[in-house]
Amino acid sequence: MAPGNVPYLLVLLLCTIGLDASSKEDRKYLVNSRLEVNVKSLLAEVCGTNSSLLSIGVKSLSNEYSDRTVENLCGNATTEVLLWIPVGNFGNLAEVGSSSRYLGKGAGDEDFADYCSYDVTTKSCTTDSGTVDGSILLLAEKFPERYELRDLVFKKWKNTTHLGSPILAYATLKNREQGYKYVDQDISYLADTRIEYVLPSSVSHGIPLSVYRGKTETYKLVAGETYYSRSFKTINAIRYMSPYTTINITVIGSEGRDYREFRAKLVTVYTDEEGYGWSKSLSSIEAAVIETKLTETHVEYAPPVNLYDTKLPVLTPMLPSINEDNSIVDKGLPPAKGIVAKPENIHIHITELDIGQAYPGFRNFAIAAAILVFSVLGIAIIDIIRRVVANRRAKRLHLGKYSRT
């Protein structure tokens, strides 16, 4: 094994071990967990104004979301999955948790069990009437791992707004040859696309979102964030140009924003672990998509400019001049004329009688007419020859009008 590959293999091995450990940790949390079926009843009991449970925490099962208080849970939209998990599944909450107290209840008769405050230091769960004995269950939130949008059905109407005309690229066409008449060039430019899905408030922001068209995943983005994409595109610029001229060209686009509503099925995936009825949920939603992109591109041409002045600089002869003291002073040559670029309007020079270029369809028409005329003439000549031969044969054999009977 090459020595340079050792660090790479170590990093790969550590990553694999880390992912496997994380997966085992998730499975450990969910052992013997129980789903809270009546969430509204739970919130009605713990969210009272005089409740002593508002300041304690609710355990989060996601690394992306920290533990929050019962008061925050009552005041904000909650997830669909609230689980009661044995306190032993979390290990030492004093080190793992971010709160000193969590909402819990006894694992006995769940229908009549009182909610208690679990202290991570003393590992006891207390109520107003005393300490709860036996096994303790803690309330935990299971946030979605990802969303899937499927079976999108768009409405017929679409609201389009024109945003502007950005400049995408610059280029120059140059005709350096006497024989060239048309000059073309492929111009590359960047086309940006921005897509934003406006989803219901029940969809949590910051969670991966996959958009499917049939069974194909077309977009993979994050809920609540704008999806950006950039691609290279090419447009062809062609122009009639006089010899030794140049034209500056500009690629200009038209940017528009489309707003379109749709109906779809939202699949909320809470976990890929099998054996849990709450691992996935399916709901029908109405949402919208905002797409900003280039709707059209075109090329604009500046007036043509000569590459250089075709007239050569005129050199005056070297003439001495006599001053007042009768001394000869050599003035030398005047400064040579520099290269001057001058603009000219777009024009077409036809320097020779080129009917094929002036009338592109005339040549084809002339060829077809010639073929038709010569075909008719040939048929007529053949018919005349056929008649002469037939008459001579009839005369020799005394047939027809040449018969003697």
End-to-end alpha carbon distance in the chain? 117
Contacts of 42 (CB under 8 A, 6+ apart): 36, 82
57 & 134 share domain: yes
165 & 298 share domain: yes
173 & 283 share domain: yes
DSSP state letters, 238-292: EEE--TTEEEEEEEEEEEEEEEEEEEEEEEEE----TT-TTSEEEEEEEEEEEEE
- C-alpha–C-alpha distance, residues 169 and 147, integer Å: 39
Contacts of 364 (CB under 8 A, 6+ apart): none
Contacts of 184 (CB under 8 A, 6+ apart): 173, 236, 237, 238, 239
130 & 154 share domain: no
- C-alpha–C-alpha distance, residues 281 and 142, integer Å: 13
301 & 164 share domain: yes
Residue 287 lies in a domain: yes
Q: pTM for the full model?
A: 0.60
| 164-168, 170-174, 275-279, 326-330: least confidently modelled range | 326-330
- C-alpha–C-alpha distance, residues 47 and 109, integer Å: 22
pLDDT score, position 27: 64
Single residue among 251, 274, 306 that ends a domain in this structure: 306
- C-alpha–C-alpha distance, residues 384 and 382, integer Å: 5
159 & 299 share domain: yes
What is the number of structural domains in the chain? 2
Measured CA to CA in angstroms, residue 149 lies from 104, 210, 212, 222, 331 at distances of 35, 6, 6, 12, 86
Full residue range of the structural domain in which residue 186 is found? 146-306
| 87-96, 115-124, 277-286: least confidently modelled range | 87-96
Phi, psi of 398 (to 5 degrees): 55, 50
110 & 164 share domain: no
pLDDT tens per residue across span 81-98? 888 888 888 887 777 777
Number of residues assigned to the chain: 405
217 & 131 share domain: no
158 & 257 share domain: yes
174 & 301 share domain: yes
Residue 396 lies in a domain: no
Of 73 and 96, which is predicted with more confidence?
A: 73
299 & 155 share domain: yes
At residue 75, does pLDDT exceed 70? yes
pLDDT band per the 50, 70, 90 thresholds, residue 403: confident
At residue 358, does pLDDT exceed 50? no
Residue 362 lies in a domain: no
Single residue among 268, 287, 306 that ends a domain in this structure: 306
Residue 43 lies in a domain: no
At residue 12, does pLDDT exceed 50? no
| 47-51, 67-71, 261-265, 312-316: least confidently modelled range | 312-316
Give CA 336 to chain center in angstroms.
56
In 3-state terms, what secondary structure has residue 207? coil
Residue 111 lies in a domain: yes
Contacts of 207 (CB under 8 A, 6+ apart): 143, 144, 145, 146, 147, 222, 223
pLDDT score, position 73: 83
Residue 90: CB atoms within 10 A of its CB come to 19
Residue 116: CB atoms within 10 A of its CB come to 26
pLDDT band per the 50, 70, 90 thresholds, residue 405: low
Residue type, 278: W
pLDDT score, position 146: 92
pLDDT score, position 6: 43
Single residue among 275, 306, 337 that ends a domain in this structure: 306
Residue 129 lies in a domain: yes
258 & 168 share domain: yes
Residue 224 lies in a domain: yes
CATH number at residue 262: 2.170.15
pLDDT band per the 50, 70, 90 thresholds, residue 204: confident
pLDDT score, position 89: 82
Residue 286 lies in a domain: yes
